[in-house]
Amino acid sequence: MKIHHLIAVTLLLLNCVFLSACSNSKAIYFSETSDQKEAEFLATAQDLEPVIQPNDLLSISVSSLNPEASELFNISGSTVVRNASATNTISPVTGFLVDQDGYIQFPFLGKIKAAGLTKKEFQEGIRKEIVQRKLLVEPIVDIRYLNYKVSVLGEVARPSVLTIPNEKVTMLEALGMAGDLTLYANRENVLLIREEGGKKKLARIDLTSNELFTSPYYYLKSNDILYVEPNETKIQNVSATRQWLPIVLSTLSLLVISIDRLTR
């Protein structure tokens, strides 16, 4: 009975070491609104239209009153690349890849500058070129991003690169697509990494604050990276594990030896 009691005490101590900090985890979003039945926030007035950058993959389709003539713009000049989706599957995608100098090769129009323009500006530029060269009458140009993606890393259930088909996603939607934050996530200091004008821009986001809804980073842009840091509970648990693990292993070894000797 004494050996059984010793084993039970050891297991109880193990539970205390590894699980004691869980009750201190802060797992509440928007804690400022917890006592409010209703709340209203003014949406950010930022321009959500992304700017085309080198290595963007674009789908460009042209239509007009003459379908046969329009089809000539849609069957050549494209590039096939492999693209990762939100489900971590990789599939070939056909589109126009913006090169390192910011250009694409478009049928009949040749080399066209794309980087630095919004999708709307680029659509209008292609349309004007087609009209000026009298290639089509009243053409309609449609452009979509094929690699509009954001990365979510750190303390989330499923760290992944997410492909966004509708070209618009909020920070909360991206976190939801990654399986939500874990109990060990630091919700008060989420890091956003954004590239603009060839420079990396870092921002810290507090998910427990109402200011998130009016933040210029509430809506993510293509190629944004969200990194969710571990909270102090996770760090302390890892430190405690490293400290107690040799002691626990030694204790279990002694128990095994003692039981083996007593059962002989």
Residues 74 and 135 in one domain: yes
Per the domain annotation, does 35 fall within a domain? yes
Per the domain annotation, does 52 fall within a domain? no
Residues 10 and 33 in one domain: no
If one compares 125 and 233, the residue with the highest pLDDT of the two is: 125
Per the domain annotation, does 109 fall within a domain? yes
Residues 64 and 133 in one domain: yes
pTM for this model (two decimals):
0.66
Which positions ≥6 away from 120 have C-beta within 8 Å?
Answer: 49
Of 102, 124, 145, the residue at which a domain comes to its end is 145
Per the domain annotation, does 201 fall within a domain? yes
Which pLDDT does position 195 carry in this prediction?
84
Residues 155 and 200 in one domain: yes
The domain in which residue 137 lies consists of 57-145
Q: What pLDDT, in 10s, does the model give residues 177-208?
A: 999 999 889 999 999 999 877 788 999 999 99
Q: How many CB atoms lie within 10 A of CB 201?
A: 12
Residues 71 and 189 in one domain: no
Residues 251 and 140 in one domain: no
Residues 125 and 161 in one domain: no
Residues 132 and 87 in one domain: yes
Query: Looking at the DSSP assignment, which residues form a beta bridge with residue 256?
Result: none
Task: Inform me whether the pLDDT recorded for 156 exceeds 70.
Answer: yes
Of 90, 115, 145, the residue at which a domain comes to its end is 145
CATH number at residue 120: 3.30.1950.10
Which positions ≥6 away from 234 have C-beta within 8 Å?
Answer: 155, 184
| Number of residues assigned to the chain | 264
Residues 156 and 204 in one domain: yes
Which pLDDT does position 210 carry in this prediction?
87
Per the domain annotation, does 181 fall within a domain? yes
User: What confidence category does residue 45 fall into, taking pLDDT thresholds of 50, 70 and 90?
Assistant: very low
Per the domain annotation, does 249 fall within a domain? yes
Please name which of 64, 62, 65, 66 lies closest in space to residue 74, comparing C-alpha atoms.
62
Residues 134 and 256 in one domain: no
Residues 184 and 113 in one domain: no
Per the domain annotation, does 208 fall within a domain? yes
Which pLDDT does position 81 carry in this prediction?
53
User: What confidence category does residue 94 fall into, taking pLDDT thresholds of 50, 70 and 90?
Assistant: confident
Which pLDDT does position 231 carry in this prediction?
82
Which positions ≥6 away from 84 have C-beta within 8 Å?
Answer: 90, 149, 161, 163
Please name which of 54, 6, 74 lies closest in space to residue 259, comparing C-alpha atoms.
6
Residues 39 and 157 in one domain: yes
The phi, psi pair for 251, rounded to 5°, reads -65, -45
Which pLDDT does position 16 carry in this prediction?
53
Which pLDDT does position 218 carry in this prediction?
93
Total domains, the chain: 3
Please name which of 146, 131, 148, 147 lies closest in space to residue 73, comparing C-alpha atoms.
131
